[in-house]
Chains A and B, each alone.
Chain A
């Protein structure tokens, strides 16, 4: 029953331990790009893409490079984990930015400052380090990264749809803008707490 384990992994990453609403990682793009559903979808795509690739590469590095053998000697380089993960993620975002600018200028402009900000998106680094912490294999870690990205996308799409509705709502002036967005995010996080215990 190997597939059951993957279902658990997926459910856990998307719903139970949702990166935004349960682990509270990646709040900056969550609030920043959630004003329009269109940009939210674009950002979600970018994050899923970056997270999957980052998790795959960092898992490989964690498994083969941070613990490598040289003849008889073994080197334990786990202390380099965060350093090298950040390096890989930063380089990856750079490459994606360059490629995206060429392939899809519209998406590039829509994402704007948030694409380079994925570099410092703690959800990406979080998924990489969590995958390493759980000692996932490269394949499993890649899946974990993908589903973490899907969880981020789910939270972002839900939230941006809510915010589009909120724009038409009659909100008292002191609550307008970011204030009501934060309150909504809090209620959404409480909803996701309801998934705890699912797996």
Chain B
């Protein structure tokens, strides 16, 4: 017997003994699992985004099986996936309106001026801490893509230093909402096609100085359609909770003087175009 044979023998025997011990332990200490949890984990998206408020998909699956949560608590799953989950367990799927995030600012690099030359850490929280970042508006998007980095689904694109949400990719998990130091991002019903892309409560004159398309609070939209809009603190807002959400056609008809009342698709198109200029 030479060293090589001894080495192979030693490793083989040790491995074999340990394997037998593990097998015996697995037999004597077997725990009965609920197979439904495993099936549910397979049906859930497994992105572990935390949008449901639970610590990951496995945790939600356990909560659903225990009856503490509903399949519709997962904001990411498609309607079909939720339906198959509820039919698997024979429970009520629950109703949840799909929500998407929207960045309420259109102050890209073309619309705003560069107020300071910021060359600190490329992170919105850091920039907000030291004087408020590069752009002239103190309420708008800082453009350092903290939200885009936080998004687990790649739904936020930076176009000319402005965060733009792609609603078809957004699942409404709300990760970006807590990241934005300016509180610009909110979750809105996915059926809402029109938003006011401004979040500055400043006076109209100040806003006009800092941005090419702010909401001036002129109440043009509110006068035309008081059911859909309201103006509070120099700022127009879409009434998302009211029954009548404004349509893109209504936006055309109103004709916002600064073009900050836009449809989602119009906003994307406009920012894309400006980004390529």
A residues at B contact (CB < 8 Å): 61, 65-66, 68, 70, 73, 75-77, 79-80, 83-84, 87-88, 91, 94-95, 98-99, 101-103, 105, 172-174
A84 lies within 8 A of B31 (CB): no
A70 lies within 8 A of B29 (CB): no
B6 lies within 8 A of A87 (CB): no
Separation in Å of the B270 CB from the closest CB of chain A? 32
Instruction: Please give, as numbers and ranges, the residues of chain B lying within 8 Å of A70 by CB-CB distance.
Output: 1, 6
Known: A87-B15, A101-B29. 15 other contacts (CB 8 A): A65-B10, A70-B6, A73-B1, A75-B6, A77-B10, A83-B11, A91-B18, A95-B21, A95-B22, A98-B25, A98-B26, A105-B31, A173-B128, A174-B123, A174-B129
Please measure, in the bound complex, the distance between the C-alpha atom of A22 and the C-alpha atom of B8, giving whole angstroms: 37
Separation in Å of the A134 CB from the closest CB of chain B? 22
Instruction: Please give, as numbers and ranges, the residues of chain A lying within 8 Å of B31 by CB-CB distance.
Output: 101-102, 105
Instruction: Please give, as numbers and ranges, the residues of chain B lying within 8 Å of A65 by CB-CB distance.
Output: 10, 14
Instruction: Name A95's closest neighbour in chain B (CB-CB).
Output: B25
Option from A68, A87, A103, A174 in Cβ contact (under 8 Å) with B121: A174
Instruction: Please give, as numbers and ranges, the residues of chain A lying within 8 Å of B11 by CB-CB distance.
Output: 80, 83-84, 87
A76 lies within 8 A of B3 (CB): yes
B residues at A contact (CB < 8 Å): 1, 3, 6-7, 10-11, 14-15, 18-19, 21-22, 25-26, 29-31, 121, 123, 125-126, 128-129, 181
Please measure, in the bound complex, the distance between the C-alpha atom of A66 and the C-alpha atom of B6, giving whole angstroms: 10
Among B1, B10, B30, B129, which residue has the most Cβ atoms of chain A within 10 A?
A: B10
Option from B3, B128, B129 in Cβ contact (under 8 Å) with A75: B3
Instruction: Please give, as numbers and ranges, the residues of chain B lying within 8 Å of A68 by CB-CB distance.
Output: 6
Instruction: Please give, as numbers and ranges, the residues of chain A lying within 8 Å of B14 by CB-CB distance.
Output: 61, 65, 84, 87-88
Separation in Å of the B215 CB from the closest CB of chain A? 28
> For the complex, would chain B's binding face be called helix, strand, loop or mixed by DSSP majority?
helix
Answer whether A94 and B22 are a contact pair too, CB < 8 Å, given A70-B6, A80-B11, A174-B121.
yes
Option from A77, A94, A172, A174 in Cβ contact (under 8 Å) with B7: A77
Option from B3, B18, B30, B125 in Cβ contact (under 8 Å) with A88: B18
Answer whether A173 and B129 are a contact pair too, CB < 8 Å, given A77-B6, A102-B30.
yes
A174 lies within 8 A of B18 (CB): no
A-B interface pairs (CB < 8 A), number: 62
B181 lies within 8 A of A173 (CB): yes
Please measure, in the bound complex, the distance between the C-alpha atom of A105 and the C-alpha atom of B29, giving whole angstroms: 12
Answer whether A102 and B126 are a contact pair too, CB < 8 Å, given A77-B3, A95-B21, A173-B181.
no
B26 lies within 8 A of A173 (CB): no
Instruction: Please give, as numbers and ranges, the residues of chain A lying within 8 Å of B21 by CB-CB distance.
Output: 91, 95
8 A-B residue pairs with Cβ-Cβ distance under 8 Å, sorted by A, are A77-B3, A80-B7, A84-B10, A87-B14, A91-B22, A95-B22, A98-B22, A173-B181
Instruction: Please give, as numbers and ranges, the residues of chain A lying within 8 Å of B126 by CB-CB distance.
Output: 173-174
Separation in Å of the B33 CB from the closest CB of chain A? 10
Instruction: Name A83's closest neighbour in chain B (CB-CB).
Output: B11
Instruction: Please give, as numbers and ranges, the residues of chain B lying within 8 Å of A95 by CB-CB distance.
Output: 21-22, 25
Please measure, in the bound complex, the distance between the C-alpha atom of A80 and the C-alpha atom of B26, giving whole angstroms: 28
Instruction: Please give, as numbers and ranges, the residues of chain A lying within 8 Å of B26 by CB-CB distance.
Output: 98
Answer whether A87 and B18 are a contact pair too, CB < 8 Å, given A99-B25, A102-B29.
yes
Separation in Å of the A37 CB from the closest CB of chain B? 18
Enumerate the 4 nearest inter-chain pairs by beta-carbon distance, A residue then B residue, closest first: A91-B18, A102-B29, A173-B125, A75-B6
Separation in Å of the B117 CB from the closest CB of chain A? 19
Instruction: Please give, as numbers and ranges, the residues of chain A lying within 8 Å of B29 by CB-CB distance.
Output: 98-99, 101-103
Please measure, in the bound complex, the distance between the C-alpha atom of A79 and the C-alpha atom of B11, giving whole angstroms: 12
Please measure, in the bound complex, the distance between the C-alpha atom of A88 and the C-alpha atom of B18, giving whole angstroms: 7
Instruction: Name B19's closest neighbour in chain A (CB-CB).
Output: A91
A174 lies within 8 A of B125 (CB): yes
Please measure, in the bound complex, the distance between the C-alpha atom of A99 and the C-alpha atom of B21, giving whole angstroms: 12
Please measure, in the bound complex, the distance between the C-alpha atom of A30 and the C-alpha atom of B187, giving whole angstroms: 36
Instruction: Name A105's closest neighbour in chain B (CB-CB).
Output: B31
Instruction: Name B128's closest neighbour in chain A (CB-CB).
Output: A173
Please measure, in the bound complex, the distance between the C-alpha atom of A94 and the C-alpha atom of B7, giving whole angstroms: 24
Instruction: Name A103's closest neighbour in chain B (CB-CB).
Output: B29
Instruction: Please give, as numbers and ranges, the residues of chain A lying within 8 Å of B128 by CB-CB distance.
Output: 173
Instruction: Please give, as numbers and ranges, the residues of chain B lying within 8 Å of A73 by CB-CB distance.
Output: 1
Separation in Å of the B135 CB from the closest CB of chain A? 19
Please measure, in the bound complex, the distance between the C-alpha atom of A83 and the C-alpha atom of B19, giving whole angstroms: 16
